[in-house]
Amino acid sequence: MRKFEKISFEQFKKDIEDNKELYDNLRLPSRETKYAAGYDFHAPYDYILKPGDILKIPTGIKCIMEDDDVLLLLDRGSMGFKYNVRFCNQVGVIDKDYYSNPDNEGHIWIRIQNEGNKDYVVNKGDRMCQGIFMKYLLVDNDNDEYTERRSNYC
């Protein structure tokens, strides 16, 4: 199974705000066209990123996926090309075991930086990044002794 879900309202209140209407109006990531590879994540609220500023943005979304899947979060092409805004970590990597981890339910966040010379304005509901599912491979002599995820890395 592979799907996006909203985080619980309790987690939403901790991470964003105690606003049921804002929570109810969150949009799950979606593809804009039939052949789009990426699922567009939508801004949960308005924000302005001034030149030189960095902003950590909650999505209100978590994702369940197959055992050999990874979700890659990428900026939208226009962010860098038109505005010189980019992800601080260049590519976000969401592992399967991030889903419903004990620290934050697997709440996906992005962190962007405006390296341009004008304000970057995003309105509630605008597409702010895209997620692409990919399969990954393991080496033949992969270690089969693993620990459980204990931190959210955000």
78 domain residue, yes or no: yes
Name residue 151's amino acid: S
* pTM, entire model: 0.90
| Count of the separate structural domains present in the chain | 1
What digits encode the pLDDT tens for the residues 9-64? 999 999 999 999 999 999 999 999 999 999 999 999 999 999 999 999 999 999 99
14 domain residue, yes or no: yes
Mean pLDDT of the chain: 93
From 93, 75, 111, 96, select the one nearest 148 (Cα to Cα): 96
145 domain residue, yes or no: no
106 domain residue, yes or no: yes
81 domain residue, yes or no: yes
Segments forming the whole domain that contains residue 9:
3-135
Q: What is the CATH number of the domain that holds 97?
A: 2.70.40.10
143 domain residue, yes or no: no
